[in-house]
Chains A and B, each alone.
Chain A
Amino acid sequence: MLFKITLLSAMAFAAPALAADWAVQTDKSHLGFSGVQTGAPFKGSFGTWRAEISFDPAHPEAGHAKVTIDLASARTGDTQRDTALPQADWFDVKHFPQATFEAAGFTPKSGDAYEAAGKLTIRGVAKDVLLPFTLAVAGDSATAKGHLVLVRTVFGVGQGPWTSGEWVALDVGVDFDLVATKAGS
């Protein structure tokens, strides 16, 4: 009887551990983007975003991630660019305040490399993307890093005269460097 109770409680505790939810420490993490304007490269980052990640290294295919980004929090260090970004031609935050990335199932590659097939939604346009990243788990702490190149116009980022790459390159880089701790630990 005692053994049964112990087993049950052990299972009850084991269940969340198996789901392996990770709390992303946004203050220690970085979610950035980069682009080229009139030939000059620039970097920026999002100040407000959150990520819900559940990942068990033993069962990466059962993992799940949802990242929600507050597009109005994009900063590049240039007042002019930062004023333009939230406007209708670019992120149009009035109509689409958030971008989301949602992935179900991670595919292990060689070593610490993984791939997450997910759906990226910007400006209400949802596209399937394959997100490569590396993962380093040390005890209850994990670091995930990745880089993705997007064509901004696929999502309608840059309207009217900005649909050409003449002034602002169509390719945009997204970088992340997430630090997470195992939830409940």
Chain B
Amino acid sequence: MPRTRYDTVAIGLHWLIALGILALIAIGLTMTHMDLGPMAKFRVYQLHKSIGITVLSAALLRVLWRLTHRPPALPDAMPMLERRAAEGAHVALYAFLLFLPLTGWALVSASPFNIPTVLYGVIPWPHLPVLSALEDKAPVEHLLKIVHGRAAWLLIALVLVHAGAAFRHHFILRDGILRRMLPAIVRKA
């Protein structure tokens, strides 16, 4: 019998990444658009880095899991165009889940501040090679900041499309697509 739901690992990673992204968006917008004062600003940047690397690790696992574990099939009634759109959106999401943290890691590595990353204040995390050894870091960091910022807005758009589509399936089409990704506790409730 084919699976009708995602497995526990896929569900766990999905929601971990979802929470991480929401936190990163909130923190990212706050730390770049609000005047926090030096101490809070420093702390939220460190937290953003910690969560970002967590999401990168979870996204890598998610992609590996996805490649080795077939997800449940889409409903038979789903039109071909929508299937393609769903597949394309997922590929784009995975790509951005990896690209965003990588550009963040790159810009931290290229920062003239050269602040060591210690995940959650506990686990030392290295800078990327080459970038951290640049003679003139400022222009590279500036460019990476723009890339990271623009890519973040694209990811926000993708997340909205993803969530919007899930809600459409759940509330309008009522085809159980969303329930396939819900943790068992929520599903029973």
Contact = CB atoms under 8 A, between A and B. Distances in A.
B46 interface: yes
A40 B121 contact: no
B48 to A, nearest CB: 14
A184 interface: no
Nearest to A82: B116
Interface string B110-149: 0011111110011010000000000000000000000000
A83 B113 contact: no
A79 B124 contact: yes
Contact of B39 (A38, A78, A87, A161): A38
Interface residues of A, number: 17
A37 B39 CA distance: 8
Interface string A151-162: 000000000111
A87 B115 CA distance: 10
A37 B38 CA distance: 9
B42 interface: yes
Interface in B25-48: 37-39, 41-43, 46
Contacts of B113: 160-162
B63 to A, nearest CB: 30
B143 to A, nearest CB: 18
Interface of A: 37-40, 78-80, 83-84, 87-89, 160-162, 166-167
6 contacts: A38-B39, A79-B116, A80-B115, A83-B116, A87-B114, A162-B113
Interface of B: 37-39, 41-43, 46, 112-118, 121-122, 124
